[in-house]
């Protein structure tokens, strides 16, 4: 099968993994959403999913770091005078967990619950405009040697994604009253992630690479194709973010 014979990679460039200012800013924004929900609606669902997904993702990041599966570079905070202050690696792992897990799930749940309310739609798109402008203003002169490459169709990754998808499907079937809320959470997550990914691809912060087998059984890099980028990055957004992150709803909201 081509899906398993070929190797599909997502390439990440830039300082997204090491820029502590960005992670702190988005984490504070998600925290404000949690506080606003509690004050105006007297519920703590956003708090629950933010704390829970942050803890789980932090544990994952710590495991990847401890086993040297992922080389987590030192994270820094840029001061007002432009100087960089490097922070302890464990604080960096916590911030990484907060942004990768807590922020995305909180945004999805918060704006999904308010998807038909105009004020919150304006706020949501204001956030998107802020993201687009900040990414657009970033320099595209990224260091080509400073990148990470992740294979999305490794057997372990596909197996784990399959297990997560089946678990979420089973949970939805057993809890049909939550289907609408899960769906409205799913939509903002893939919407904002799609826009972020498109801008990252445009700015060359995200790209893809495909390796195919030649007649000798060796892997060679296939010439870049936009269709490959569309399907690989689309899989990342829909399944590895949208579908996978619904697991946090099932764990911490149900």
Mean pLDDT score, 68-79: 72
- 28 pLDDT higher than 70: yes
- 1 pLDDT higher than 60: no
Give pLDDT, residue 56. Answer: 95
Structural tokens at position 80: 């007002």
Convert the pLDDT of each residue in 87-111 to its tens digit. 888 888 888 889 989 999 999 999 9
- 249 pLDDT higher than 80: yes
The per-residue DSSP string of 144-189 comes to TTSEEEEETT-HHHHHHHHHHHHHHHHHHHH-GGGHHHHHHHHHHH
Give me the sheet containing 147-151, strands edge to edge: 147-151, 7-13, 206-213, 219-221
**Cα dist from 97 to 54, 80, 105, 219, 242, whole Å:** 5, 25, 12, 34, 17
- Report the C-alpha gap between 102 and 96 in whole angstroms: 10
- 5 pLDDT higher than 90: no
| Summary mean pLDDT of the chain | 90
Give pLDDT, residue 78. Answer: 83
Structure-model confidence comparison of residues 64 and 111, the more confident one:
111
Structure-model confidence comparison of residues 77 and 169, the more confident one:
169
Structure-model confidence comparison of residues 144 and 174, the more confident one:
174
Give pLDDT, residue 234. Answer: 96
Domain residue ranges of the chain, discontinuous segments joined by +? 2-252
- Report the C-alpha gap between 37 and 83 in whole angstroms: 36
Convert the pLDDT of each residue in 132-142 to its tens digit. 999 998 876 65
């Amino acid at each position: 099968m081509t899906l398993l014979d070929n190797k599909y990679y997502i390439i990440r460039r830039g300082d997204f993994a090491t820029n502590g200012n960005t992670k702190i800013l988005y984490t504070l924004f998600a925290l404000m959403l949690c506080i606003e929900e509690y004050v105006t609606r007297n519920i703590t669902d956003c708090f629950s999913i933010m704390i829970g997904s942050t803890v789980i993702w932090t544990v994952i990041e710590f495991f990847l770091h401890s086993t040297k599966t992922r080389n987590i570079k030192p994270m820094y905070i840029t001061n007002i005078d432009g100087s960089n202050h490097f922070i302890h690696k464990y604080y960096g792992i916590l911030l990484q967990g907060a942004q990768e897990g807590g922020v995305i799930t909180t945004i999805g749940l918060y704006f999904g619950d308010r998807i038909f309310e105009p004020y919150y739609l304006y706020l949501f798109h204001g956030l998107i405009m802020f993201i687009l402008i900040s990414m657009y203003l970033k320099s595209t002169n990224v260091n080509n040697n400073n990148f990470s490459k992740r294979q999305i169709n490794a057997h372990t990754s596909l197996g784990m994604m399959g297990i997560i998808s089946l678990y979420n499907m089973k949970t939805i079937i057993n809890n049909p009253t939550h289907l609408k809320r899960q769906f409205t959470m799913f939509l903002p997550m893939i919407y904002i992630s799609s826009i972020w990914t498109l801008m990252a691809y445009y700015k060359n912060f995200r790209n893809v690479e495909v390796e195919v087998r030649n007649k000798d059984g060796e892997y060679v890099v296939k010439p870049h194709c936009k269709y490959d980028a569309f399907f690989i990055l689309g899989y990342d957004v829909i399944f590895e973010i949208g579908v996978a992150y619904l697991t946090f709803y099932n764990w911490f909201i149900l």
